[in-house]
């Protein structure tokens, strides 16, 4: 559940997921609206977007929403999505010969945070999607000094995916919360996956309740 306003002030929330097509952009929208309703000025940052043809679809949609919620966030799409690649693949593959400059990304984040109270950062794919041979999306969370928001699915197999992703976050001592996105196999979720999840975790949070 969304906490009080002061908890999020001057923080970055890094929204990642157990895999691709789990609902990261949907989660970004829900968090942006919820945080704005607390009176916070929200910002948005998506360091990498792949599968870009004419423009970054996810980044453009989010930027439009954030500008409605926070008119002072006067950045363009190249500011909020600095690396845009055509191939719909992991950044490691999609970047081809492009050199990824992490200092450049840190500077971008710093500038974006000057125009918001809380910055929502959207990852690409799941936590272990590679950027370089030895740097993964999960490593950006620590690099950006952000709190992780892990989105997990409701489909068959979500138990395995959720536990593996949480194990990866804990191994790197990353502060996180996780939310279940009730969107796929949701009619069977209560029978197939919920019994274990309820017994294993003391509390479950659903993205639809944000």
pLDDT digits (tens, 9 = 90+) for 103-148: 999 999 999 999 999 999 999 999 999 999 999 999 999 999 999 9
**In degrees rounded to 5, what are phi and psi of residue 208?**
-65, -15
Q: Looking at the domain 5-209, which fold is it?
A: Rossmann fold (3.40.50)
Residue 74, annotated ligand binder?
Answer: no
The two tokens of residue 24 are 């990261």
142-193 pLDDT, tens digit per residue, is 999 999 999 999 999 999 999 999 999 999 999 999 999 999 998 999 999 9
> pLDDT value at position 4?
86
Residue 60 pLDDT more than 90? Answer: yes
Residue 21, annotated ligand binder?
Answer: yes
The owner of tokens 């017994």 is: 199
82-108 pLDDT, tens digit per residue, is 999 999 999 999 999 999 999 999 999
Residue 39, annotated ligand binder?
Answer: no
Residue 71 pLDDT more than 80? Answer: yes
Check residue 184 and give left, alpha or beta (phi > 0: left; psi -120 to 50: alpha): beta
Tell me the CA end-to-end span of the chain in Å, nearest whole number.
6
So where are the chain's domains? 5-209
- Active-site residue 46, yes or no? yes
pTM as predicted: 0.96
Pick the catalytic residue: 29, 46, 108, 109? 46
Residue 171: in which H helix or E strand, if any?
Answer: helix 158-171
Residue 52 pLDDT more than 90? Answer: yes
CA distance 59 to 80: 7
Residue 208, annotated ligand binder?
Answer: yes
């Amino acid at each position: 559940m969304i906490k009080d306003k002061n908890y999020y002030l001057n923080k970055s929330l890094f929204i990642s997921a157990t895999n691709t097509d789990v609902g990261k952009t949907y989660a970004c929208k829900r968090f942006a609206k919820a945080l704005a309703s607390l009176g916070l000025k929200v910002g948005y940052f998506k360091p990498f977007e792949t599968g870009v043809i004419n423009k970054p679809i996810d980044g453009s949609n989010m930027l439009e929403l954030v500008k409605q919620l926070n008119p002072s966030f006067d950045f363009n799409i190249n500011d909020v999505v600095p690396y845009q690649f055509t191939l719909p693949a992991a950044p490691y593959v999609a970047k081809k010969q492009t050199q990824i400059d992490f200092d450049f990304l840190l500077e971008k984040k710093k500038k974006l945070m000057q125009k918001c109270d809380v910055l929502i950062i959207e990852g690409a794919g799941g936590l272990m999607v590679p950027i370089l041979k030895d740097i993964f999306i999960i490593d950006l969370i620590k690099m950006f000094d952000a709190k992780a928001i892990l989105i997990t699915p409701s489909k068959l197999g979500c138990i395995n995916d959720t536990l593996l992703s949480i194990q990866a976050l804990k191994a790197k001592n990353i502060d996180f919360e996780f939310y279940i996105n009730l969107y796929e196999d949701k009619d069977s979720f209560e029978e197939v996956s919920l019994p274990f999840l309820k017994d294993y975790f003391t509390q479950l949070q659903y993205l639809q309740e944000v």
